[in-house]
């Protein structure tokens, strides 16, 4: 049974058909990539999936449960969390606080409990901090936990976004261009991290990526979008030889130079 | 060693400033130095326990003693307390959740009127039976009630408007405050609820339930002396409670969610923060603080009218929060204290001094220009007349040189 199942998702903004009947399935334990030229609807699909947009048509099932009409926070609580293409950290909060916000849906202390500082509150808060530190460690940010998020370097900010997304203890992690602007070494390190996450922290990852080395190196499955339509799907090797994909996105020469 | 020295210095400073203020009860400077001791306490690197003890000593023992020498000091302290509580409430909405509220005084007004109407004969105008004013014992019931009502009005205002953002929200809150003011101004007909612009008086004061205890210890204090002290301690307890509640909320998932919404609403939602619910909670908590102070304010003033709740009040409290440092509890406290002292003591003190100079008829001799009799100093020079201007100048200078406020939020330090 698929972890995530999208069926016929369409989204229109005025005269622009951003998504046209996109279907997609994601299995447990899988890393899948979403590729396509700019404006193909990749981020729109993420926004639809996380409840920021409501799809005009189609169904979204996550663990056999429909996500249609749910607010973003409910979807996060249900087990999907994401990062953003243009980094959206809480700049004037510390690294640790950023990760702790990610845990909001997992912390349950009530208002009286918080005001009276109940034992439950202390237990939860300590556990949350412990787990936050673990995630900060995992994303190689140890030692920076008390710095403001805006003081981090670009690469560190990208990693903090991943740590924050993981804090919500998701089953499915959505990464929007996680290696954008990174050099080869940094991208390699992230790929290693993603493999480590599967099975340990999340059940599956869906990523949007333009870096073909990352896409081809890590994906179990690649989905290609163009003008809001899915034009191809398959194993990385199949997709890279698909004539429609080459025409729409990859271009002829892309593999000769650096693959 | 260093901290011992600091502790010793602090104690010496507090002792000297209090002695000076005690023996020169008319000196504004002496009292200012007592107030400054609290600021010093915040900055000096003394052990936490020492700081809390000394702070409590100043607030619970020394200030009331000084206040019984010069009653005006207590009045200043009570005013400071009221504005600190209001600033802390607004700080939650503006500083933590990041929603610009230009009508915060509305919540303060609603609950001030709540006690004013039922704690005075005013309610007889629309509830027959001559039951009013309610006995002073009801004051505490109304204080608790006001917290609930404040939270409810806060949430009720929040519900329709929280979909608005930034400027739009600010305009709606401004409108709300004006509506509240217009209502209290005009609800004297057809049924006389608020007595309109004439205001309500006399409003019952809280009960002196501890008087038998004082008598028992052989203390005979006249009511005129007792009430200022009583209000001082009431507001002190209220402010301490508010600080405690705010601190606990700040260091919890709720406070973190508020700040996350302030920083980036969409990212907060995507991280699992129920944005609307958290915003409503912020509005409700902030409003409940203002409401509790409102009840206290009505009881202290004995007389209230719509003039006490103008737009300038809202702006004043907002300025306190901004000057102190948005999103910072010490900042809000310092901002409220600083601005209140500036208005009540510094500018007025300067006016008095200038008046004194004028009346002394001294001559000011400037070389080459001749002499100038100070008695000719025009009355327009009185600093009290420039209250708003000086205040405005301070705001402008602050925004240019320290836009984050005097005490901006700090981050947790490494253990």
**DSSP symbols for B244-292:** HHHHHHHTSHHHHHHHHHHH-HHHHHHTT--HHHHHHHHHHHHHHHHHH
Predicted confidence band of residue A68 (pLDDT cuts 50, 70, 90): very high
A97/B256 Cβ within 8 A:
yes
- Give tens-digit pLDDT for B305-338: 999 999 989 999 999 999 999 999 999 999 999 9
B→A interface, C-beta within 8 Å: 245, 248-249, 252-254, 256-257, 259-260, 262-264, 266-275, 281, 327, 409, 411-414
Instruction: Examine the pLDDT at B64 and tell me if it is beyond 60.
Output: yes
With pLDDT > 90 as the criterion, what percentage of chain A qualifies?
A: 87
pLDDT digits (tens, 9 = 90+) for B262-295: 999 999 999 999 999 999 999 999 999 999 999 9
Residues B152 and B94 in one domain: yes
Are the beta carbons of A81 and B270 separated by less than 8 Å?
A: yes
Cβ-defined contact of B249 to A94 (cutoff 8 Å) = no
Residue A250: its pLDDT value, please? 76
Q: Does residue B5 sit in the same domain as residue B64?
A: yes
Residues of B in contact with A117 (CB under 8 A): 248
Q: Do B184 and B112 contact (CB within 8 A), yes or no?
A: no
Tell me the percentage of chain B whose pLDDT exceeds 70: 96
Decide if pLDDT at B1 tops 80.
no
Is the predicted pLDDT of residue A215 greater than 50, yes or no? Answer: yes
- Chain A positions touching B285 (Cβ under 8 A) are none
User: Quick check: B246 pLDDT over 90?
Assistant: yes
| pLDDT (average), residues B112-137 | 89
> Is the CB of B254 less than 8 angstroms away from the CB of A111?
yes
Bigger pLDDT: B326 or B352?
B326
> Which residues, listed in sequence order, are joined to residue A226 by a DSSP beta bridge?
A229
**B171-216 pLDDT, tens digit each:** 999 999 999 999 999 998 888 999 999 999 899 999 988 888 888 8
Measure CB to CB from residue B269 to each of A73, A115, A128 and give the nearest one.
A73
Q: Do A109 and B260 touch (CB under 8 A)?
A: no
Q: Chain B: residue nearest A99 by CA?
A: B271
Is the confidence at residue A256, as pLDDT, over 60?
no
Question: B163: distance to nearest CA of chain A, Å?
Answer: 14
Shared domain for B272 and B194, answered yes or no, is yes
Q: What is the ipTM score, two decimals?
A: 0.93
Same-domain check for residues B153 and B242: yes
B273:A73 CB<8 A: yes
Which of A50, A101, A168 is nearest residue B256 as measured by Cβ atoms? A101
Q: Are residue B207 and residue B320 in the same domain, yes or no?
A: yes
- Please name the member of B248, B253, B275 whose beta carbon is closest to the beta carbon of A107: B253
Q: Does B342 map to a domain?
A: no
Is pLDDT at A126 greater than 90 in this prediction? yes
Q: Assess whether B130 and B271 both reside in one domain.
A: yes
CB pairs under 8 A between A and B: 103
Rounded CA gap, A58 and A10, in Å?
6
Indicate the number of domains in chain B. 2
Q: How would you classify the pairing of strands A16-26 and B363-366?
A: unpaired
User: How close, in Å, is residue A31 to chain B by CA atoms?
Assistant: 21
* Per-residue pLDDT at B4: 83
Which positions in chain B touch A89 (Cβ < 8 Å)?
Answer: 263-264, 267
| pLDDT value at residue B414 | 54
For residue A34, name the pLDDT band (cuts at 50, 70, 90): very high
Please identify among residues 127-146 of chain A the ones whose CB lies closer than 8 Å to any CB of chain B. Answer: 128, 146
User: What's this model's pTM, rounded to 2 decimal places?
Assistant: 0.91
Q: Is pLDDT above 80 for B366?
A: no
C-alpha to C-alpha distance for B254 and A252, rounded to whole angstroms = 53
Residues B238 and B298 both lie in one domain: yes
B97 is a domain residue: yes
Cβ within 8 Å, pair B271-A81: yes
Instruction: Map out the domains of chain A as residue ranges.
Output: 4-79+170-258, 90-158
pLDDT of residue A139: 95
Give pLDDT tens digits for B76-105. Answer: 999 999 999 999 999 999 999 999 999 999
Question: For an interface test with A, which of B95, B247, B253 has the most A Cβ atoms less than 10 Å from its Cβ?
Answer: B253
- Check CB contact under 8 Å for B267 and A84: yes
Summarize pLDDT for A182-207 with one digit per residue, the tens: 999 999 999 999 999 999 999 999 99
Strands (DSSP E) contained in chain A are 4-13, 16-26, 31-35, 57-62, 65-66, 80-82, 172-176, 204-208, 221-226, 229-234
Do residue B252 and residue A109 have CB atoms under 8 angstroms apart? Answer: yes
CB-based contact B411 A146, cutoff 8 Å: yes
Choose among B70, B85, B215, B77: nearest CA to B146.
B85
Average pLDDT over residues B28-48: 84
B413 pLDDT band, cuts 50/70/90, is low
**Cα separation of A229 and A40, whole Å?**
8
**For B102-120, what is the mean pLDDT?**
93
Nearest CA of chain A to the CA of B95: how many Å? 12
**DSSP labels, A86-124:** S----TTSBHHHHHHHHTGGG----HHHHHHT-HHHHHH
From the list A73, A77, A146, the residue facing B412 with the nearest CB is A146
**Chain B residues with CB-CB distance to A128 below 8 A:** 253
CA distance B340 to chain A (A): 29
Return the residue matching tokens 């607030």.
B59
Q: Does the residue B389 lie in any domain?
A: no
For residue A148, what pLDDT band results from cuts at 50, 70 and 90? very high
Residues B134 and B221 in one domain: yes
Same domain, B116 and B237: yes
- Supply the pLDDT for residue A258: 44
Q: Which residues of A touch B262 (CB under 8 A)?
A: 92
**Nearest CB to A114 within list B249, B327, B409:** B249
> What is the Cβ-side half-sphere exposure of residue A228, based on CA atoms within 13 angstroms?
16
Tell me the average pLDDT across B342-367.
77
Chain A residue nearest residue B251, CA to CA: A114
- CATH number corresponding to A4-79+170-258: 3.40.50.300
Q: Are residues B100 and B18 in the same domain?
A: no
Q: How far is A240 from chain B, CA to nearest CA, in Å?
A: 33
Interface touch B269/A147, C-beta < 8 Å: no
**pLDDT band at B383; cut points 50, 70, 90:** low
What residues of A are in contact with residue B162 (Cβ under 8 Å)?
none
* 3-state secondary structure string across B172-221: HHHHHHHHHHHHHHHCCCCCCCCCHHHCECCCCCCCCCCHHHHHHCCCCC
Among candidate residues A158, A167, A97, A23, the one with its CA nearest the CA of residue B270: A167
Query: Where residue B17 falls among pLDDT bands split at 50, 70, 90?
Result: confident
The answer to whether residue B82 sits within a structural domain is: yes
- Say yes or no: A171 contacts chain B, CB-CB below 8 A: no
CB spacing of B270 vs A121 below 8 angstroms? no
Q: Are residue B135 and residue B201 in the same domain, yes or no?
A: yes
Where in the sequence is the domain holding B41, given as residue range(s)? 1-69
Q: Is residue B330 part of a domain?
A: no
B309 inside domain: yes
Inter-chain contact B249–A93, Cβ cutoff 8 Å? Answer: no
- Does B263 contact A91 at a Cβ distance shorter than 8 Å? yes
Same domain, B162 and B270: yes
The verdict on a CB contact (< 8 Å) between A101 and B271 is: yes
The mean pLDDT of chain B is: 88
Select from B245, B260, B272 the Cβ nearest to the Cβ of A105.
B272
């Amino acid at each position: 049974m698929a972890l995530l199942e999208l069926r016929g998702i369409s989204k229109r903004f005025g005269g622009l058909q951003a998504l046209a009947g996109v279907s997609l399935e994601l299995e447990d334990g899988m890393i899948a990539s979403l590729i396509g030229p700019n404006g193909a609807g990749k981020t729109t699909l993420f926004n639809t999936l996380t409840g920021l947009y409501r799809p005009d048509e189609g169904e979204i099932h996550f663990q056999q449960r429909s996500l249609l009409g749910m607010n973003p926070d409910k979807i996060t609580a249900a087990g999907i969390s994401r990062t953003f293409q243009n980094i959206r950290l809480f700049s004037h909060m510390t690294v640790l606080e950023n990760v702790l916000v990610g845990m909001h849906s997992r912390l349950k202390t009530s208002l009286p409990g918080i005001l009276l500082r109940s034992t439950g509150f202390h237990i939860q808060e300590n556990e949350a901090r412990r787990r936050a530190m673990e995630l900060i460690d995992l994303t190689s940010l140890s030692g920076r936990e008390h710095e403001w998020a805006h003081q981090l370097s670009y690469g560190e900010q990208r990693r903090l976004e991943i740590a924050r997304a993981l804090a919500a203890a998701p089953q499915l992690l959505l990464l929007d261009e996680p290696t954008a602007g990174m050099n080869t070494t940094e991208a390699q390190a992230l790929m290693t991290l993603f493999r480590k996450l599967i099975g340990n922290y999340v059940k599956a990852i869906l990523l949007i990526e333009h870096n073909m080395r990352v896409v081809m190196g890590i994906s179990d499955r690649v989905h290609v979008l163009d003008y809001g339509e899915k034009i191809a799907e398959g194993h990385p090797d199949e997709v890279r030889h698909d004539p429609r994909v080459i025409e729409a996105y990859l271009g002829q020469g892309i593999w000769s130079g650096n693959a | 060693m260093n901290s011992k020295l600091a502790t010793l210095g602090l104690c010496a400073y507090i002792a000297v400033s209090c002695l000076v203020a005690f023996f020169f009860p008319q000196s504004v400077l002496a009292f200012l130095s007592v107030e400054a001791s609290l600021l010093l306490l915040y900055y000096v690197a003394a052990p936490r326990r020492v700081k809390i003890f000394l702070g409590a000593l100043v607030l619970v023992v020394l200030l009331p003693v000084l206040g019984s020498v010069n009653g005006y000091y207590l009045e200043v302290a009570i005013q400071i307390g009221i504005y600190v509580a209001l600033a802390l409430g607004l700080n939650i909405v503006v500083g933590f959740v990041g929603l610009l509220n230009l009508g915060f005084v509305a919540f303060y007004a609603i609950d001030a009127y709540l006690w004013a109407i039922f704690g005075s004969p005013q309610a007889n105008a629309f509830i027959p039976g001559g039951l009013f004013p309610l006995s002073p014992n009801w004051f505490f019931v109304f204080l608790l009630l006001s917290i609930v009502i404040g939270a409810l009005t806060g949430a009720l205002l929040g519900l329709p408007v929280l979909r608005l953002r930034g400027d739009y929200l600010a305009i709606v809150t401004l409108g709300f405050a004006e509506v509240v003011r217009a209502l209290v101004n005009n609800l004297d007909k057809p049924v006389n609820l608020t007595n309109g612009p004439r205001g309500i008086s006399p409003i019952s004061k809280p009960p002196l339930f501890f008087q038998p205890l004082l008598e028992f210890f052989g203390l005979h204090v006249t009511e005129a002396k007792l009430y200022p002290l009583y209000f001082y301690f009431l507001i002190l307890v209220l402010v301490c409670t508010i600080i405690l509640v705010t601190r606990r909320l700040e260091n919890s998932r709720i406070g973190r969610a508020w700040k996350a919404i302030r920083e980036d609403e969409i990212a907060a939602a995507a991280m699992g923060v129920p944005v609307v619910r958290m915003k409503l909670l912020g509005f409700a908590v902030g409003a409940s603080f203002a409401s509790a102070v409102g009840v206290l304010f009505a009881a202290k003033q004995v007389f209230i009218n719509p003039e006490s709740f103008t737009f300038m009040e809202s702006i004043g409290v907002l300025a306190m929060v901004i000057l102190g440092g948005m999103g910072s509890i010490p900042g809000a406290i310092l901002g409220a204290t600083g601005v209140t002292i500036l208005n009540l003591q510094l500018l007025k003190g300067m006016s008095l001094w200038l008046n004194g100079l004028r009346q002394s008829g001294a001559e000011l001799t400037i070389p080459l220009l001749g002499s100038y009799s100070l008695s000719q100093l025009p009355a327009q020079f009185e600093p009290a007349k420039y209250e708003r201007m000086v205040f405005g100048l301070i705001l402008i200078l602050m925004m240019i040189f320290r836009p984050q406020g005097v005490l901006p939020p700090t981050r947790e330090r490494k253990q």
